Amino acid sequence: MPVEIIPSFLLYCLVSGITPGPANLSSLATAVRRGRSPAIRQWYGILVGYTIVMLCSGLLAFFVGQALNEHVAKLSFVGAAYILWLAYKMLRESCDDAVESRPFKGFVSGLFIQLTNVKIMIFGITAQTTFMLPYNRSIVAVMLFSLALSVTGPSCNMVWLLTGVKLRDIFSKYQKPIGIAMAISLVACAVSILTIG
């Protein structure tokens, strides 16, 4: 990758990573509802899932390239349906006082969120086809680039998680309106995936 496009690449990573998406909103909600330790366990799943998706995106972009774009739209419907399910679950939990008594599978939850996260699939393929493949067609370079991309999203996700930890006291007072706002944000994510894709 030429040095002159590195600022554009870094800005693309920051904007893609920090904007609301299913993993960011889920980390925020988990940290707010359950605290730092459960949210960190979920974050490990997010990190592993993100890495898997970035490596797969790199391989797909390397071997299939631009022909993959027509299938991204189909994946968008699956991703949007999953995000709507997350919104429903978040809304239901915000109206339920017994959230703490339910079993929570932190790592598995984080992993599943990322393995079904169309936002990061599109991010990985776009990053590869825009910033790597035009300048380097080596499979080793593509895989190393994929591993480097694996740091971007989870780093931004940690910001959402830590924000949730700080907002935990506020959430306990305003659980229902905050839960509704987060559910609406997830619905907006689902709509944007369908309208962009």
Cβ burial 170-188 (10 Å sphere, 16+ → b, else e): ebeeebeebbbebbebbbe
Residue 81 contacts residue 123 (beta carbons within 8 Å)? no
pLDDT at 194 over 70: no
- Other CB atoms closer than 10 Å to residue 72's CB: what's the count? 17
DSSP letter string over 83-119?
Answer: HHHHHHHHHHHHT-TTGGGS---HHHHHHHHHHT-HH
pTM, to two decimals: 0.70
Which residue, 152, 121, 127, is CA-closest to 5? 127
**Comparing 134 with 143, which gets the higher pLDDT?**
143
Task: Place 101 in a pLDDT band, splitting at 50, 70 and 90.
Answer: very low
What pLDDT score does 54 carry? Answer: 92
Cα–Cα distance, 49 to 55 (Å, whole number): 10
Lowest-confidence segment of 84-93, 137-146, 178-187 by average pLDDT: 84-93
Specify the residue for token string 């419907």: 77
118-127 vs 6-18: helix crossing angle, rounded to 10: 180
